[in-house]
A and B are shown apart, each in its own frame.
Chain A
Amino acid sequence: MSKLKVTLAALAFSLAFGSSAQSTVMNVLNLKSAKQSGEIVESNKLVGYYIFYFKEKADKKTSTYEIELFDDNYNSLKNFEITRPKNANLLEMVFNGEVFMLHFYDQKTGYEFVTYDRTGKQLGSTKIAVDNISRWELQRAAANLSANTENVTLYPTGSTGFIRQTFTKNKKLGYEIVAYNNEAEEVWSYGSSETSTLVETAELNDVNEELLAVTVYKKKNNMTREMDLFCLLLNTKSGKLIAEVEMGNETAGRQSLMKAFVDGKTQKIVLMGEFYKPGDDMLKDKSLGLYMRELSLEGKDLSMTQYKWKGDIDKFKNENLDEEDKKDANKPYYMFFHNVIRSENGHLFLIGEQFKKQVSGMGVASAALGGGASAFEILIANMVVIEFDEKNKMVDFDLIQKKKTPVLLEAGMGTWGTTYLGYYLNALGAFDYAFTSSDRAADKYNIVYVDANRREDKESAKSDVMIGVINIDGGKKTEERIPINTKARFWWIQPAKPGFIAVGEYYRKDKKIEFRMEPLTY
């Protein structure tokens, strides 16, 4: 993962695709004018790429830019020219099957959301002056720009429009969900109260043409870890609140919300997460176990299924795991869940990774020598997939062995709770989990992680990188380890179209970058 993260930074200069030979070849000399590049996403599926080029200064205040669109095979499809304020940045681009929405940001003039059809014809535009953007929102944009990571705030809602999640100004920090049509006109918005004295943030969880499921976090201030969670259900067309579902509370015990799924077939909403002891802190304390909660489309509780780590899940592990896996499964690891996948047959797959805090030999030595490291480290261990069937019955606990890797903590971090450290490591990208390649329509998912054990078997030589892939195809899970090798000195891997991984190779002598795609599974 760390390698992936490091090399993802190279993506910013890596997307000037040129001719199409075998693998796509790019001329590095052309990359100077590329300001931003990124993936075009449609319903969590990577469908293409864009490059935002600077062309020229048009006058004192504006510049001309060019946007080039590529399909998911790196074929250049379309170029179109636009004029925007000088120093404009393209933060993100999404596609709803018919229309592209582009999110521009300029330090002086603020945000602009522009929609284009496939001919490059502008359909509409909405501007938000910089004074009307909260500082939290601006900080997020600035941080993403400087780190070359993509903003993820826009989501397509079928082919009729888009939804945006934003931070707003209130007395502390609020949220707003805004819906736009294909002409970039605001259709509705829903947000926290302007007079709220709480810190309230929202995360879009599942979006379809009918319903939006949003996780809302509420807490007294930014410093506290105590927070209440809600699942907000909104009508996608009107923005009307269907229900604000409380995810437990202080006295009854809280529930985290990993994922919410709106199931059109069963007319149910499935919420999935961990549950806690009354009074426990979600960011500090270890959960009691996992839950699955079913709601009606009106937000009414239909059922609640709980699996406790001690008792239910332990028992399942002891009955189903082989002796070797049992050893690792029964060690006191914490679990960080990266994703939850729901296949067409209603099965839920929780993708987790084991980790624990432990004393670090190197950290202790460093501390003794006056270094800045903590005496503790985090040991990142195996991947775990927990499967529940359509009746929420636990049907599998699979431990996927990979090489354990330590992550040294900085001084002072040793006192932090392990659960909280999990979130911290995740934000740093220190876990081995890399990405999930999704094709919801085809019911295919590939979860990709990096295994530090780069040998195919004990006797074989090390590959350049060993990736592990957990495939969930039509509700069936398989796993494999794939060695990736390259002759280039500088190279990286990154997400590609569903079912593939992209390998970028930079040949310094020829000043060229080659991209090739390799299937994740056969």
Chain B
Amino acid sequence: MKSEQLRFFIFFFCIAGSLTAWSQQYDRSGGFVPVTGKSDNRDLIDYVELMYRERPYNSSLSAVQNTQLKSHYKKRLEACKELLQGDDVIVSGDLFNYVNGIFQKLLLANPEISQQSKLVLYRNLTFNAFTMGNNVVFVHVGLLNKLYTEEELAFVLGHELAHNALKHAESNMISQVLQNDTLKKQISQAAGKTYGNVTALNELLLPTILANKEQSRRNEYASDSLGILIYLKAGYDPAQSIGFFQALDGEEGKAQEPPLDLAALFNLQETDPLYKKAIAYRKANSLGIFEKDNEMEPYLRSHPYDADRLKAVLRIIGLTEEQTFSVRDSVYMSYRYLSDGEMVYKCLRDGLLSRGFYYSAKMDEVFPGDIFTRNSLAFILTELSYMKDRRISGKYIDTQSPNYEEAYDRAVFFLQSLVPLEAQALSEKLMEDKKVNSEEVLMNQVTKAFWAFQHADYSQYELRYDMIREAVKGTLYEPFLLEVDRYYLTSGKKRITNNNK
């Protein structure tokens, strides 16, 4: 009875929360503000430790095997704790509340699933969501960044909950334990061979690897099957369930992202000298195009081909692909603004400037003229101008790669081609918009300090530096500003203003 009351309370709370979230779009008039600071994840860590303590004893395994299994659980616990203790966990704020609202909706509609399941948003740029099998579902902001509707997200969450419910992680650990004894002996025999030891190891391990991969693909099908049922039970529209596979297509390089319209972004006319650079592109292939060896690729995949997954899901929901649809969901998109912002924030914080430029520019296309994206772009470009001058930009911007999606490779090509003055000019061009150029925004103030430095207006630079030096402490701007100031001082310039020395 008690638990039923509790369930009702949670249900009511979540529905109320979700309804609040859905009833109003996220207000972004003030620009994006990241969820900063270390979250207090003690509850989550306690929870994963509890899950470890409550791990089941497997009576079908020997005592030794159970000990080995325990060590697998322990490793999982440590890995999970390491993630939860990092700076990239987001378990509060509007974005988390929104995604968690959907997560709780799925849980409540599916009482057979552990209602204790937890959601963690993770500031990672890759398109991924995962669970380690301990009822904690991690969702990367890089996944949210490629989706357009709540249904697409609900499908992914349902899929991850299904992995948990079907105990795929546990069965993987058990199969590893079962393989352990005999395989270890065989490995040591193969490794000890005088001749052909690596080949022998490959031959020995390949069947196991292939079997594991095949099992993994079966698990994915199983999770898709249960996941879609979880999704449907929560009342989601079957016809809108498969949008996720379109995003997956993009990730697998089948549906390429369109290139950034840099000319439009910077409002460059054809007569502008930078226009040519904005539209130019050359693939980096100093040694030409190489064919990839992909004979084994279908067998080494951890996930089935998405076309096959799509077919399987369509069979379950009893629809053809033509009967399905995906409409850009304005509520979802307003929260995606926050996840896109987190992506940009992550790039700036970790010094991934070419990625930061790309995601900011992409974000600007989705949310045109947004203050945060424009400010980020201006900041990145002025940073780049300084770094190019100092010959340290190679640390912060990528070189081209055939492994990148073309849209990103184009952006890298553009950034590589800019000379410091051009990067600086583009930064200033973005800030010509008075709406964007606000002295109240810290990022702007840092950008302007850089501008002054790049223009060798050192008195202005010092003035701005002194104004913001306290405010930037502990923020992502601090290392950038310290770097420029260190250079400023070592390059023989003496502080004109001495009040803060």
Contacts and interface: CB of A to CB of B under 8 A. Distances in A.
B298 interface: no
Contacts of B291: 118-119
A73 B399 contact: yes
Contacts of A56: 195-199
Contacts, number: 112
Interface in B353-401: 353-354, 388, 390-401
B351 interface: yes
B286 A460 contact: no
A456 B490 CA distance: 10
Contact of B198 (A55, A73, A518): A55
A482 B394 CA distance: 14
B255 interface: no
Given A58-B196, A64-B199, A77-B402, A516 B394 contact: yes
A325 B120 CA distance: 67
A349 B353 CA distance: 39
Interface in A92-126: 95, 97, 118-119
Interface in A495-522: 497, 503, 514, 516-519, 522
| Most chain B CB neighbours (cut-off 10 Å) among A48, A118, A516 | A516
Nearest to B397: A22
Contact of B395 (A23, A40, A64, A78): A23
Interface string B284-295: 111111110000
Contacts of A64: 196, 198-199
B29 interface: no
A72 B402 CA distance: 12
Q: How large is the interface on B (under 10, 10 to 19, 20 to 34, 35 or more residues)?
A: 35 or more
B490 A75 contact: no
Contacts of A119: 290-291
B292 to A, nearest CB: 8
Contacts of B493: 459
Interface string B182-205: 000000000000111111000000
A356 interface: no
B394 A517 contact: yes
Contacts of B196: 56-59, 64
A368 B241 CA distance: 90
Given A71-B287, A75-B402, A95-B287, A22 B396 contact: yes
Contacts of A458: 492
A21 B395 CA distance: 9
A518 B391 contact: yes
Interface string B459-494: 000000000000000000000000000000011110
Given A518-B391, A519-B388, A75 B403 contact: yes
B468 to A, nearest CB: 24
B391 A59 contact: no
Nearest to B492: A459
Contacts of B492: 457-461
A73 B391 contact: no
Given A22-B351, A64-B199, A522-B420, A71 B394 contact: no
A486 to B, nearest CB: 9
A519 B194 contact: no
Given A64-B198, A456-B491, A118 B287 contact: yes
Contacts of B353: 22
A73 B400 contact: yes
| Most chain B CB neighbours (cut-off 10 Å) among A57, A73, A74 | A73
Contact of A48 (B287, B393, B403, B491): B287
B284 A57 contact: no
B262 to A, nearest CB: 19
| Most chain B CB neighbours (cut-off 10 Å) among A22, A40, A482 | A22
Nearest to B399: A73
A138 B362 CA distance: 58
B352 interface: yes
A22 B354 contact: yes
Interface string A49-75: 000000111111000100001011111
A484 interface: yes
B289 A20 contact: no
A118 B403 contact: no
Q: How large is the interface on A (under 10, 10 to 19, 20 to 34, 35 or more residues)?
A: 35 or more
A49 B399 CA distance: 15
Contacts of A503: 394
Contacts of B354: 22
B87 to A, nearest CB: 18
B257 to A, nearest CB: 19
Contact of B195 (A24, A58, A456): A58
Contacts of B287: 40, 47-48, 69, 71-72, 77, 95, 118
Nearest to B285: A71
A59 B354 CA distance: 48
B419 interface: yes
Interface string A465-498: 0000000000000000011110000000000010
A460 B390 CA distance: 14
A40 B351 CA distance: 31
Nearest to A57: B195
A457 B398 CA distance: 31
Given A57-B194, A58-B195, A20 B286 contact: no
Contacts of B402: 71, 75, 77
A41 to B, nearest CB: 11
Contact of B491 (A23, A40, A460, A518): A460
A179 B492 CA distance: 58
Contacts of B351: 22
A223 B250 CA distance: 69
B281 to A, nearest CB: 15
Interface in B36-82: none
A485 B390 contact: yes
A522 B419 contact: yes
Contacts of B198: 55-56, 64
B355 to A, nearest CB: 9
Contacts of B403: 20, 75
B284 to A, nearest CB: 5
Interface in B398-412: 398-403
Contacts of B420: 522
A22 B195 contact: no
Nearest to A497: B286
B124 to A, nearest CB: 14
A26 to B, nearest CB: 15
A14 B218 CA distance: 41
Contacts of A518: 391-394
A4 B291 CA distance: 36
A154 to B, nearest CB: 16
Contacts of A95: 287
Contacts of B199: 56, 64
Contacts of B288: 97, 118
B391 A71 contact: no
B284 A73 contact: yes
A517 B291 CA distance: 26
A484 B389 CA distance: 11
Nearest to B200: A56
Contacts of B400: 73, 75
28 contacts: A21-B352, A22-B398, A23-B394, A23-B395, A24-B399, A48-B286, A48-B287, A55-B198, A56-B196, A56-B198, A57-B194, A57-B195, A57-B196, A58-B196, A64-B196, A64-B198, A64-B199, A75-B400, A75-B402, A118-B287, A119-B290, A459-B493, A485-B390, A485-B392, A517-B394, A517-B399, A518-B391, A519-B388
Given A47-B287, A60-B195, A484-B391, 6 more contacts: A69-B287, A71-B285, A77-B287, A118-B291, A459-B492, A519-B388
Interface of A: 20-24, 40, 47-48, 55-60, 64, 69, 71-75, 77-78, 95, 97, 118-119, 456-461, 482-485, 497, 503, 514, 516-519, 522
Interface of B: 194-199, 284-291, 351-354, 388, 390-403, 419-420, 490-493
Q: Give 3 closest A-B pairs by Cβ, nearest first.
A: A459-B492, A516-B394, A461-B490
